Amino acid sequence: MLYSKIEGEGKPFIILHGFLGMSDNWKTLGLEFSKLNFQVHMLDLRNHGRSFQSSEFNYQVMAQDVKEYCDKNDLKQIVLLGHSMGGKVAMEFAATWPSLIGKLIIADIGTKFYPRHHQSILEGLLSVDFSLKPSRTKVDELLSLYVKDYGTRQFLLKSLYWREPGQLDFRFNVKYLEENIDEIGKELSDEKIFKKETLFLRGEKSNYILNEDEDVIKRHFPKMSLNTITNAGHWLHAENPKDFYEYVVKYLNS
């Protein structure tokens, strides 16, 4: 069963994080959404956060994990929001079990195939030898040789935790993620179609959803709408949370 953080009471609202993320990334916005009479479930997907680890890792099994979570908690007519990798999971889930979806929100990811683009990050993560008991500062120093962007490193370091006194580790399973990295970029299969209204949000500075991608997305989500969050890149919910929140709330109230 997937680990979750739950805030509030009311209609079920599930949030799925992106690659190498976890539920904690959404705690601020999750709390805000919970104030709108939603029970917000921020999930850790398999091999991430505090959820279980498995060598099997693809969008089909991750969508099945979310389905089992819904069944266990008797969640129906859910609001489902997914960012990046979590957005692909949300697409797979919605197209497979459309009757469970009340509202669907996809953040900065399209339905298309994405080529590998996490190699340097994974190389950096794999370069950390925790048997040497490095400090948090040392881990950051090692990552900086592969990941130059400070913000990205801080995002990755959020998954550091004390496995035991004096022994740090990452919450995500780098080995399994690296072995299955080609699964992350896979496109939504042709037969997956979701006919209810769907909100797509993209970052103005991101290249994950291009203008020419819209026609392809509409084949799978014929009632989709696309809005652009200004002054934001791929982590649009963190870079411009105000506009992100307002777009989501407007869609929820429509």
Tell me how far apart the alpha carbons of residues 167 and 150 are, in angstroms, rounded to a whole number: 24
Inter-axis angle of helices 241-252 and 27-34, nearest 10: 40
Place of tokens 């962007």: 149
Residue 244 contacts residue 15 (beta carbons within 8 Å)? no
The residues annotated with a catalytic role in the active site are 84, 234
